[in-house]
Amino acid sequence: MKEVTFLQAINEAIDEEMKRDPKVFIIGEDIGKHWGGALGELKGLFDKYGPERVLDTPISETAILGGAIGAAATGMRPIAYMYFVDFLGVCGDELINHLTKMRYMFGGKIKMPLTITAYTGAGISAADSHSKTLYGWLMAIPGLKIVVPSTAYDAKGLLKSAIREDNPVIFLEHKMLIFGGAKSEIPDEEYTIPLGKADIKRKGSDVTVVATAVMVHRALAAADKLQEKGISIEVVDPRTLVPLDKKTIIDSVKKTGKLVVMDEDPKTGGAAGEIAAIVAEEAFASLKAPIKRVCSPDTPVPFSPVLEKFWMPDEDDLIKAVTEIT
């Protein structure tokens, strides 16, 4: 075993997949020799694989994703490096009308093995145009798989699986996990984590809490405080929002009888609403209390550090929601 940071896990995953499969390449801005990605997660890859497999582009999200779509349709396995998830709006036509529809519209005659990587989430005062999550928006695009890791261990195993997937995947990297230096022990040997398999980060008996990315860590912190009050929390990390591991979530709710979903999306139209609806439809008889959602307000993300901290859901918000139903 060895300890790696979130960034190192991403670098290792891409490096191993590029070494394993010559069809894998990266395309995006500032990924070449001098930058190696905005936060350095791609450092060393340009020197190892050269400009034909680490394609540094102009600042054009439309060109990056459009070029990657063409490459994927003709047999390559591109990784489209999009920087911030907010920038997907620039290439919305490519994302909504081409990438996620082509395999269906061509009757399955082509594959679309394309992985998009993007930073997501608030917490570093990057202002609203660099801080959204967009989980709900992305979940509403049929044909797109959505990966949201919360640890370096998960990040590496899930990214390798995403790159090997024959359908479009977006791999979302929460900035607070990067800047916070989140570390995990990972095995020296190769490993992958299948898409669509949730992980129970903490077992409990009284309340199920479903959380993603940095919210997993806030849920775990809240669980420690609640344990002191005699309340046992089970923390379920879906790891992928699409496909969603409904069975693990529902089995947990059947055990605890209570559900709180902690999601950084605004409450309206976010992932929390979808997860809550699934449990209400498929496990209503097991519920002993109303489902609670702990989400961000329906507003833009503030730039001010004080306002941003207030805006983001935290362990106190979760503790309040849990105590209201216990």
> Is there a catalytic annotation at residue 130?
yes
Please tell me which residue in 34, 98, 130, 174 is annotated as part of the active site: 130
Q: Is the dihedral angle over the CA atoms 245, 248, 252, 257 positive or is it negative?
A: positive
- The residue count for the chain: 326
Cβ proximity of 121 and 133 under 8 Å: yes
Both tokens of 61, joined, read 């999200």
Q: How far apart (Å, rounded) are the C-alpha atoms in residues 73 and 311?
A: 41
- DSSP collapsed to 3 states, the chain: CEEEEHHHHHHHHHHHHHHHCCCEEEEECCCCCCCCCCCCCCCCHHHHHCCCCEEECCCCHHHHHHHHHHHHHCCCEEEEEEEEHHHHHCCHHHHHHHHCCHHHHCCCCCCCCCEEEEEECCCCCCCHHHCCCCHHHHHCCCCCEEECCCCHHHHHHHHHHHHHCCCCEEEEEEHHHHHCCCEEEECCCCCCCCCCCCEEEECCCCEEEEECCHHHHHHHHHHHHHHHCCCCEEEEECCEEECCCHHHHHHHHHHHCCEEEEEEEECCCCHHHHHHHHHHHHCHHHCCCCCEEEEECCCCCCCCHHHHHHHCCCHHHHHHHHHHCC
Q: Annotated active-site positions, please? A: 130
